[in-house]
Structure formats: C-alpha cells, structure tokens
A and B are shown apart, each in its own frame.
Chain A
Amino acid sequence: MPSDQTSVAGVPVSPDDEQALVARLRQGDADAFETLVRTQGGRMLAVARRLVGNDEAARDVVQDALFSAFRSIKRFEGHSRLSTWLHRITVNTALMRLRTQRRRPEESIEPLLPTFIDDGHHASQFATWEGADALLERSETRQLVRDAIDRLPESYRTVLVLRDIEQVGTEETARLLGLTTNAVKIRLHRGRQALRTLLDPHFGSERR
C-alpha cells in the first residue's frame, strides 16, 4: 500500500489542497487533470510496472487508470487519501489487463519448487546464504531481486506482488483475483519458494 503522503516535487500536499484538486477534477478542469497526472502518475507507473511486469504495458495501465479515475471522480468520497484511491484503481486496471492479455499457457512453477524423496527428506542439500540481508543496501541487489520477481510465472508473481509488495490482505487479494483465500496462500508460498530458488545461485555459498 502506498504511503498516505501526497506530494508535488517532494513538497507535501495538505488534505485541503487535495480537496481543492478533487473539486476541480469534478468540474472537468483540464489543468487539474494535468496536476493529477504529474503528481500521481509516477507512483501509479511503479505499481503498474510491478504487476504487469513490463514498461510498455505499465504505461497503458497508467493511462487507462487515470481516465478511469477522472470518469469516476464524482464517486470519490474522500474517506481515504486520493493516492490510496488511485492505487486501488491502478491495481484493478493492471489486473484487468493481465486477464485480457493472457493468451498462452504460462510456464510451470514446478521446476522452481523444492523436491523430496519418498521418505519426505529434501532431495537437495541447500547452501548457506552468507550475508544476504547485508546486501540489501546495494541497489544492484535490489535490481537483481526485482528481475527475479519478474521471472516468476505470472499467476504467482501477481499474488506475491499484491501480498508482499503492495501489502494487500489475503481476502482482498482473493477477491481481486477471483480465488479462494486458500489458493492465495498456496500461490504465495509457492511464489516465495520459487523466488528463493531463483536467488539461490546469487546468495548461496559453494556448499553443494
């Protein structure tokens, strides 16, 4: 979930300013729409990018989400911050796009999951991850992790991004994706396991 802070070029925007912006948007004010695009578009682009996994589709999502917001601004009742409302619209728009563009069967996640022998023991010996948490400070590490998340099969990546990155609750994620809460928990667990496998060559020491 985004922070509740709305700002223009790093300067906080007060709730009063936000109310004024909403009022102008309701009147169809073109300048207000441009303000909305400039102040909120970057954050919306980031959310869309995380969910759809590529820049081009994310741009389309932002455009569609902004038009959708502009059309439905009369229904914005001010119970949440404008940024929170836009976050929800962006998530919905991104998920809609994923549903409509899904054409080919997605890659199986099975090769990325741990395997077990008949008695239930792990089939592999795992390496110790030396200092992975310390490497978090490096932007190269964060980029590497983002790239690995992008490589997850879509139906698992979507759940992992919604739950772990966007901080959407299990029930809300289930509702958004038309899944049971149990299916969300299973996909999240498998997505995390698969991500661990993708990161293992980068953080695991030479043990195996």
Chain B
Amino acid sequence: MNCRECATFLDEYFDGTLELTARTSFEFHLSRCANCVRYLESYRSTLSLERAAYDDPAVQRPDIPEDLIRAILDARASRVRRPD
C-alpha cells in the first residue's frame, strides 16, 4: 500500500470496517511512513474538531430573534386571513 491508497482508506480504518488484509497493509505502511502518520493524526483531529464545533449551547440552540418571531407570526396571521 502506498500513501495514496492509505489516504483512501482513512474513513474505513477509523470506522473499523477495513477488512483484515487491507488493514494489515495499511498499518504496515504507517509503520514506515511518518508523513502518513502525521496526516492520519491531523485527519483524526479534524473529525474531533468538526464534531465539537457546534457544541456551544448558544450555537446548538440559539434564542430565536424576536424580530424573526414577529415576522413568522405576522406572516401566519396574514395567511390565515388569506388561506393559500
């Protein structure tokens, strides 16, 4: 396995779905290629970072702005007056 193939199998490697022969080749390549190890580690960190990126309560569940509430309620009221 070379670096290109190694990069292709990253998701399956992390998911644990890489079949045994490919996994053995993958890990053998990593044992000889420090550059791929750095790539793999930064890819792993990317996954952690993106999954945590929206963890802030203010981002996950922001207050809905009052002007948007008003706009929605006004639009609803006018639709009730003029059913579509």
Residues of A within 8 A of B (CB): 28, 30, 33-34, 37-38, 41-43, 45-46, 50, 59, 62-63, 66-67, 70, 114, 116, 119-122, 125-129, 132-133, 136, 139, 141-142, 145-146, 149, 160, 164-165, 185, 188-189, 192-193, 195-196, 199-200, 203-204
B2, A129: Cβ atoms under 8 Å? no
Residues of B within 8 A of A (CB): 2-5, 7-8, 10-11, 35-36, 38-39, 41-43, 45-56, 59-64, 68-69, 71-73, 75-77, 79-80
Closest 3 CB pairs of A and B: A120-B2, A41-B64, A145-B53
Give the CA-CA distance A31 to B63 in the complex, in Å: 19
List the B residue with the shortest CB-CB distance to A114: B7
B43, A196: Cβ atoms under 8 Å? yes
Residues on the A chain within 8 Å of B35, using CB: 121-122, 125-126
A145, B64: Cβ atoms under 8 Å? no
List the A residue with the shortest CB-CB distance to B54: A165
Number of A-B contacts (CB under 8 A): 138
Give the CA-CA distance A42 to B69 in the complex, in Å: 10
15 contacts between A and B (CB under 8 A): A28-B80, A34-B73, A41-B72, A43-B60, A67-B79, A128-B38, A128-B41, A129-B41, A132-B48, A133-B45, A136-B49, A164-B47, A185-B11, A192-B46, A192-B50
Residues on the A chain within 8 Å of B10, using CB: 189
Which of B8, B49, B60 has the largest count of A CB atoms less than 10 A from its CB? B49
Give the CA-CA distance A172 to B41 in the complex, in Å: 29
A19 CB → nearest B CB, Å: 22
